[in-house]
Amino acid sequence: MKKSSTNTPLLLTLLFITSVTPSSLIANQSIPKAWNFEVCMANNNNLYRYGVLNYKQMVKAGSTPSLNILLQMDEYGEKKCSRLFIEQNNPIIMQTQTEPPVSISGTPENLYEFAEWTSSYPAQNNLLLLWNHGAGIKDPNIWGKLLAKGRDELYIINPKTKLLDLNRMLAKEKNWEALIKTMQEKGISFNDVAETYLTNQDLKNSLERISNVLLGGKKIEILAMDACNMAMVEIGSQIKSAVNIMVASEEVEPGFGYNYFSILSPFNTQTLSPIELAKHIVNCYKNEYKNTFGDFTQSAIDLSLIDDLEKNISKLASFLIGLIEKGGPAAGKILRDIRFDNILTTEFLDPDYIDLYHLFKSLSLRSELYALSSPQPKTSSIWLDIKTATSEGIALLDKMIIASAAGPNLPNAYGLSIYFPTTSIHSSYYKTVFAQSTEWPRFLEKFLRAKKGEPKEPKTRA
């Protein structure tokens, strides 16, 4: 990638304000702190300027007696990165990596060795934060080029509310496929210079290795993802073996992402439990965007019940398959009416992702109606089964969703999305833990086949 004359390479910027490693810091590494706040920033892409902003927020806050702020950043346009211990107003370069693949963000080797470096700072709790583009559970077939102007160009001013809204006409006008190829490849931690990224399989394997090898089998307390579209049930399934709490966004994030000064400031006077910190991150995000953006989301999810949720969704999928098989075109039309009605389903900018809680609620309400007055008596008992399954699912989500925030344009975004594609199933989806352990893909196949047999175009979210 050609460097822009307006972008100063990261390392040159840091050298003017970075001290050498003090001996006192090395000595203090033997004293466990309450938290390690570990930020793996893959910013060798069009989000670089936001990375610099977030870095400055961390420096303003600084490590405290209860908190280590440990950061990795790319040098813009280069295949190397620096690892820093962040003291207040005094970032300290501890390592500079120059040998690929360890030096290249967006590789499993880089993520693991970053975590290995952070493990030299003992702490009772670990928050690992992945900073970058992210787009949920699909992985790309080919490498694309990111939009040159960054993801904030997806927003437009709403003349009525004066808030920044996502331009959903991109999907309505069927420009989404082109946008997907140019802006939002699937996975997380994209490095444009090296043209690499962490697939969802890489994410699972890397986190398991960190948990098993570096943490002695202990799970990471919080995995936060300052990235788009990662608050998905499928992502939860990918990381459940290595993570206790997931903090992420269902929707596209503004380029500014988290306000790290706000998140880190409480540690100047206190420490926080994992649940308190997860809630605090969500609340900070809400406060950051509630007066400026109409389409923000952020949530904290307890993954201890993700296995139960998988079983619940799998059971629901079996009932929905039975409904389509026994109810025929009429049943298929009812499900399509729910899926493609923006009152009954919350669809995000990527229309293949919908809010799971809202889906459960709509299915529950409709199942109660059709169980009592079904136009096809042979499906009445199935509707009752769907009512039971969705009620159980809602109860599970009420326990799992620790905290959730959403903008006024997304009143039914409760914190966890699911893959429910509008046209076809992405090939990479079948590789996921969720797809391999539930009946959900089989339901999607059945639903999409039935949809293709219907000549009428489904409604799309306005």
Sole residue written with tokens 């400026």: 292
pLDDT digits over 224-233, tens only?
999 999 999 9
Residue 177 predicted with pLDDT over 50: no
Looking at residue 176, what is its pLDDT?
Answer: 42
What span, in angstroms and rounded, lies between the C-alpha atoms of 4 and 7? 5
- What's the chain look like in SS3? CCCCCCCCCHHHHHHCCCECCCHHHHHHCCCCEEEEEEEEECCCCCCHHHHHHHHHHHHHHCCECCEEEEEEEECCCCCCEEEEEEECCEEEEEEEECCCCCCCCCCHHHHHHHHHHHCCCCEEEEEEEEECCECCCCCCCCCCCCCCCCHHHHEEECCCCCCEEECCHHHHCCCHHHHHHHCCCCCEEEECCCCEEECHHHHHHHHHHHHHHHCCCCCEEEEEEECCCCCEHHHHHHHCCCEEEEEECCCCCCCCCCCHHHHHHHHHCCCCCHHHHHHHHHHHHHHHHCCCECCCEEEEEEHHHHHHHHHHHHHHHHHHHHHHHHHHHHHHHHHHHHHCCCCCCCECCCCCEEEHHHHHHHHHHHHHHHHHHCCCHHHHHHHHHHHHHHHHHHHHHHHHEEEEEECCCCCCCCCCEEECCCCCCCHHHHHCHHHHHCCHHHHHHHHHHHHHCCCCCCCCCC
- Is pLDDT at 174 greater than 50 in this prediction? no
pLDDT score of 210: 98
Count the Cβ atoms, other than its own, within 10 Å of residue 66: 17
What is the mean predicted confidence (pLDDT) over 377-404?
Answer: 95
256: nearest Cα among 150, 185, 170, 180? 150
The domains located in the chain, with CATH, are 10-305 (3.40.50.11970), 307-400+420-452 (no CATH)
Distance CA 405, CA 296 (A): 8
What is the rounded average pLDDT of the residues 367-396? 88
User: Is residue 196 within 8 Å of residue 185, measured between CB atoms?
Assistant: no
The per-residue pLDDT for range 343-381, each reduced to its tens digit, is 999 999 999 999 999 999 999 999 988 887 766 677 889
Identify the weakest region by mean pLDDT among 328-337, 361-370, 411-420, 451-460.
451-460
Cα three-residue angle 134-106-155, rounded to 5 degrees: 25
> Are 128 and 37 a contacting pair, CB within 8 Å?
no
Nearest to 17 by CA among 66, 82, 64, 110: 82
In this prediction, residues 132-154 reach a mean pLDDT of 56
Please give the pLDDT value at position 31. Answer: 84
Q: What is the mean pLDDT of the chain?
A: 85
Residue holding tokens 């098989």? 325
In Å, the largest CA–CA distance within the chain is 78
- pLDDT, residue 363, reads 97
Q: What is the pLDDT at residue 180?
A: 44
pLDDT digits (tens, 9 = 90+) for 154-170: 777 788 876 777 777 66
CA 115 to chain centre: 19
Phi and psi based region of residue 153 (left: phi greater than 0; alpha: psi -120 to 50; beta: remaining): alpha
Instruction: State the average pLDDT over residues 178-194.
Output: 45
11: nearest Cα among 102, 83, 109, 116: 83
Structure tokens at 111: 């993520």
Tell which wins on pLDDT, 105 or 25: 105
Model pLDDT for residues 76-124, shown as the tens digit of each residue: 878 889 999 999 999 999 999 999 888 888 889 999 999 999 999 999 9
Question: For position 15, what pLDDT does the model report?
Answer: 44
pLDDT digit string, tens, across residues 209-219: 999 999 999 99
Residue 398 has pLDDT above 50, yes or no: yes
